[in-house]
Structures are given as structure tokens and as C-alpha cells.
Amino acid sequence: MTNRVIYYSTLLLWLVSPSTVASEPKNSNQVQHKAYACDNCDFQAATKIATENAPDNDCKTDSKSPAESMCDPVSKTIFVPVHSNKKVFKFEVTTRIDAQNLPVVSVVPSRVLPDERVLIDKYFEFYADLEQAVNKVSAESAELAQSRVSEMPYGTASQNDTPHDSCASHPAYYFKNLGHEREIKHKLATRLRAEFKADSSVISQYAQHNLLALWGDSFDNRIAFNVNFANNPANTVHPLFNLTLHKAFTKIDGFQYGELFGGNATDLTDGGISSCLTELLREKSEPDTTTATEGGGHGSFNNPFVGTAIKTAPDSSFCQFTRNVTLCHTDSEGHRTCPATAVTWTDRCGLKPG
């Protein structure tokens, strides 16, 4: 159930002894050691990762003076642990400013010291425990969901066939409101804390891993979350978990989240969609502000009423609606966005959206 979806993940590790974790570097131009773990990379790929994460050097000089004589280089030690074979690459990465005030990055391989190797091994143990916990929680969530909901395509369903809470394990439930979003995240985070107990002192302020926790009843209906965690100063056994929506691995009625709500026009009239998704579209759509000039259709699911014909259509017949549907999500930095997507779908005429 767990998927690795990012090439490498950012791990802010303090690669020093516990007694000096909080201390500042002796050299003001030496940045704290950091590690960027990859799933399966060789020396060349690791070097590329180190180069991409070189320290910033914001020094600026007067154009009349050579930059080299005015700007000190900024350096940091970068480790690249490799999940597949438990190797670790170490680089001394330096950013200098040249005579044109442009940054120049140099990457020099270095020997991993014994105490550094010990800490990296702790990280591998930490990651393995976390991966196992996420795997188990995702499997349990799927089993729980499968026992609670079984969806029929809306095209074959009657108007009132969906009990009030039968969509509680469908991905549409998550997007209905902020309360549902918090509910599912809280349940997953609580299970992760119960399953995962490890020494989180091997991480610093924040660490991000390429792990997914899944919530849903099937491969085609699931919410996927990036599992991020931070050090818990009050309890090193239980880190703080943060779950953010992974849109590419989230599926609703077989569609990726971005296919449905990516901001472009979405046409869902070619096939039946679940009553749970239809209900979400109905609740999250904005009122229709357009004026139809013509209409047609016969009111069946395959040939619904459209345009002006909707106004006089019987409630029990089918109509084709096009509305702006607005869904919100929060990124890993806490920024919440609510883009609108023009969606076209078929629904009972008596259940007009907006």
C-alpha cells in the first residue's frame, strides 16, 4: 500500500553528538550538516542531489571591487543516504561568488566518519519502522473502508438510494468540508502514533519522507497523504505527524484528483459516476450565472435534458449540468488554496446544484 513517489526526500539531520546538537557552527559561513535521502542512487546521482542543495551565498559586492576579495565562501556538509543498499555518500559543498557576482558551486567527496555512520544507521532504522507503520495503517484503513461502503454507478441508482453516512469511506467525504478533512487526518495520525514508536532524536526540526498513507475503500477510491513528521520536544518516542494531500495518488471513482479538479474543464458525462461524487459536485458547485438560449434531450441518463429544457424538466428525469466546482486543500507549508474547476455531469433534474 505504501508508494515512494519523490526522487529524494529532505532530512534535516543533526550529524553531531547529542551534547552539541543545539550549538552554532564555529565558522559563521559553515551551514549545519544536512542529509537528502534517495531511494536508489549512485555516486553521480548523489553528486547531483548535493549540487542542487548547495548552500545559498547571498553576498553582493561593489562592481568596482573583485567579488572574490569581498565575499567569503559558504559551505555545508551534505549526506545522501541510499535506501536500497544502506550506503551513504558524503560531500563538502561550497558556494563561492565569482567576479561577475554569480554563485559557483563546488562538490567534493568526503569520508564518512564512524559517529556519522552510526547516526545514519539510526536514520535507516527510523525510516524502516516508519515505513512499516504507514504500511500497516494504510492496510487497516482500506479494510475498514471496504466493510463500510459499496458504491453503485449513479446512472443505475435511484434518486434517494444513498443513506446519509454511506459515503463516509468514499474520498468525496474528505472534500466536503474542513471538519471531514480534519477527522480523517486525525484518525490516520492517531493510528500512526499508535503503531510507530522510535527514537525521533535522530531528526531535527523537520523531516520530510517520500511515504504515502492511504485512506479509502479501493485502488480507485482513496485519499493519499504525504507523511511528514517533526521532532516532538516533549516526547522523542512519538514524533509529530503532518499529513498533506498527494493529488497524483488520490483517486475518486478512478480519476486522479487533478483530472477532476485540476482547474481545467472536466466532462463526466461519458460514463456513470458514483452517487457520492455526484453529491459532492452538487454541494460544492457555484450557482449558474449563464443564460441558456437553446435546449434538448429526452431526460434519460444517456440523453439528459440540457440548456433551456432543464427549467421545465420533471424532477425524476436526468439533466446535464455544468458548474464551477470549488474544492480546497492545504499544502505542507499550511497554505490553503481553493481553485475552481468547470465540471459537467449528469444528475437528477430535481437535484439542481448550486
Q: How far apart are CA 353 and CA 167, in angstroms?
A: 18
Domains of the chain: which residue ranges? 8-112, 118-252, 259-348
Q: Which of 176, 163, 147, 341 is nearest to 263 (CA)?
A: 341
Which residues sit opposite 242 in a β-bridge? 228
Q: CB 17: neighbour CB atoms within 10 A? A: 9
Q: What percent of the chain has pLDDT over 70?
A: 72
Contact between residue 106 and residue 94 where contact means Cβ atoms under 8 Å apart? yes
Place of cell 480534519: 182
Classify 145 as helix, strand or coil: helix
Average pLDDT in the 239-254 region? 85
**pLDDT beyond 60 at 271:** yes
Whether pTM > 0.85 for this model: the answer is no
Highest mean pLDDT among 93-97, 270-274, 332-336, 349-353: 93-97
Question: pLDDT per residue over 247-260, tens digit each?
Answer: 888 999 999 998 89
In the chain, % of residues over pLDDT 90: 28
Comparing 27-31, 54-58, 101-105, 317-321, the range with the smallest average pLDDT is: 27-31
Strands (E), the chain: 8-11, 30-38, 74-81, 88-97, 103-109, 207-218, 221-230, 240-245, 251-252, 255-256, 266-267, 295-296, 306-307, 318-326, 329-330, 336-337, 340-348
Question: For residues 312 and 135, which has the higher predicted lDDT (pLDDT)?
Answer: 312
**Mind giving me the DSSP string for 165-234?**
TTTTTSHHHHHH-HHHHHHHHHHHHHHHHHH----GGGS-S-EEEEEEEEEEEETTEEEEEEEEEE--TT
Cell triple for 131: 515505513
The pLDDT of residue 237 is: 57
Beta-carbon contacts of 159 under 8 Å, excluding residues fewer than 6 positions away, are 316, 348, 350, 351
Query: pLDDT tens for residues 31-83?
Result: 567 888 888 889 999 999 999 999 988 887 665 655 455 788 999 999 999 98
Q: What confidence score (pLDDT) does residue 63 get?
A: 59
Cα–Cα nearest to 58, from 33, 29, 23, 21: 29
Picking from 175-189, 214-228, 268-282, which range would have the lowest pLDDT averaged per residue?
A: 214-228
Q: What backbone phi and psi angles, to 5 degrees, belong to 118?
A: -60, -45
Rounded Cα gap, residues 350 and 12, in angstroms: 55
Of 162, 179, 189, 203, residue with least CA distance to 34: 203
Query: Rounded mean pLDDT of the chain?
Result: 76
